[in-house]
Amino acid sequence: MSDAEPDASDDGAVDAATSDDPAADGETIVLEGRSVVGGYVEAEALVTEGTISGWGGVDPYEGTIIETRHELTGECFTDKVLVFRGAKGSSGWSSIFHTTRLADTAPAAMVYEETTTKVALGAVVTRAPAVTDLDRDPTEVIDTGDLVAVDGDAGTVTVTKRGD
């Protein structure tokens, strides 16, 4: 096998660290990271390469991004795996995302690249599985619409690519 070919295991998963090619529809990629909140969920991904502002950037009663000029303005994250760079702004993350849990509009899970106390506390109060410090940038590997399994106990994120 050449260095450019993906390294597939017996279960069909591709070692994301060795694959430079975009994943094909139905292909599975496993990312390994660090657990923030335990639990397991499978859901569709909603991805942004940007950070998300808790206070003033999220409508917790609708489960939508409302931050002006954000690439996901108007998008609903309820029951989706929210994949994002990290948190920005004030410490409103914990209260806003706690409210999403109470209003039943929270994301199904969170996968993020940059850990701060804001986003970690937001993940904890949401009580949804959350994983960070992955072996690859999740915003570069996961696309909106991909099926994502977040195992917060194992610290893994399994991505099943969906075509455009």
Sign of CA dihedral 68, 74, 75, 79: positive
Whether residue 99 lies inside any domain: the answer is yes
Whether residue 62 lies inside any domain: the answer is yes
Whether residue 22 lies inside any domain: the answer is no
Whether residue 17 lies inside any domain: the answer is no
pLDDT tens column, 131-163: 999 999 999 999 999 999 999 999 999 999 987
Q: How many domains does the chain have?
A: 1
Specify the pairing of strand 64-65 against strand 58-59: antiparallel
| Contacts of residue 34, Cβ cutoff 8 Å, sequence gap at least 6 | 131, 132, 133, 155
Whether residue 78 lies inside any domain: the answer is yes
Which domain does 45 fall in, by range? 28-160
Whether residue 12 lies inside any domain: the answer is no
**Sheet with 109-112: strands ordered across:** 13-15, 28-32, 156-160, 147-151, 40-47, 81-84, 109-112, 130-132, 34-37
pLDDT score for 7: 45
Q: Which residues are catalytic?
A: 90
pLDDT score for 164: 60
Amino acid present at 106: A
pTM comes to 0.82
pLDDT tens column, 8-58: 444 444 444 444 445 567 899 999 999 999 999 999 999 999 888 888 889
CATH number, domain with residue 44: 3.50.30.10
Please answer whether residues 100 and 58 qualify as being in contact, where contact means their C-beta atoms are separated by less than 8 angstroms: yes
Whether residue 123 lies inside any domain: the answer is yes
Burial of 163 (0-12, 13-18, 19+ CB in 10 A): exposed
Whether residue 106 lies inside any domain: the answer is yes
